[in-house]
Amino acid sequence: ITGGCGSIGSEIIIQLLKIGLNKLIIYDNNELGMFNIINKIKTNYRNLFSEIKFILGDVRDDKKMNNIFKNTKIDIVYHVAAYKHVPMLEDNILEGIKINIVGTKNIADTALKFNIEKFIFVSTDKAVNPTNIMGCTKRISELYIDMLNKHKKTKFITTRFGNVLGSNGSVIPTFINRINDSLDLKVTHKDITRYFMTIPEAAQLVIKASDIGSYSDILLFDMGKPVKIIDLAKKLISIYSTYKISINIIGLRPGEKLYEELLCKSELCIPTSDKNIMKSKHIENYLNESFIETYKKIINLEEIDNVLYIKELFKIIVPEYSYS
């Protein structure tokens, strides 16, 4: 599990331990997060602790990844590690490319090299018709791992879902912290909406997706109805505050959408054996020579002199990408 110390990665670990599966490799570059997950597992699952490996490392370190796969029998990879904050990646495009695109490529290529049975890529609804760097980097990686399915060795499966309640840096903890500090809440637009699900729900569905998914599947989770962020802010104020807290409308941030979607313009939705999981079906094929040529240019970038040039490269690969 890459990104095993994050909100989703750590919950996937807990869900796997609950069913008695303890032959796990937890991979993350977050030292404090790794310390915390080690202590949590020692406390709650001591009897399963002995065969778990905890490895500090960067997803861009392909040599290290190669050694891990070479020296360990791995059946399934859950690739969760990513940069996910939209405004931050608008200002740090190269880092988004390095982690979300190059990091994914390194791990996916290694999984294919060692004939891993299944590779589960945790994507995001922000990859759908993206308007920001974060979503577009995830969409590019969706397309790349789909291309690897042509080898018919490893089953590369993508899972796509929206915001997760209570995850690190997400809106609810941010709002609660501001309420506790007696600060006004900031909402970017009065009509902005988002899909939400709990961390355990998301992790359970990712694990289910690894059971039912096959080659080239993009699996979408039933997120229920979208929630207006301003209504969420009002509800939290009523729960956590006994005094007046205002809500300030500050305007959409760079790359931010009013609403999120689960299907790209080039996709159709079909049911699966699980009522909470749907499957996306491509109606267009973007995986051509132009994709490969442009993809190579992107992963070989060492610096950014022209942001518009990078965005134009992104749009060649992801035609539905729109940017300002």
> Other CB atoms closer than 10 Å to residue 49's CB: what's the count?
15
For residues 251-265, average pLDDT: 85
Helices (H) and strands (E) in the chain, counts: 12, 14
Q: Exactly one of 98, 118, 126, 279 is catalytic; name it.
A: 126
Each residue of 41-55: pLDDT tens digit?
Answer: 999 999 999 999 999
Q: Any catalytic annotation for residue 155?
A: no
Label residues 153-188 b or e (16+ Cβ within 10 Å = b): bbbbbbbbbbbbbebeebbbeebbebbeeeeebebb
Residue range 84-97, pLDDT digits in tens: 999 999 999 999 99
Distance CA 96, CA 137 (A): 7
pLDDT value at 222 more than 90: no
Q: Are 223 and 195 in contact (CB under 8 A)?
A: yes
What per-residue confidence (pLDDT) applies to 64? 97
284 — pLDDT class (breaks 50, 70, 90):
low
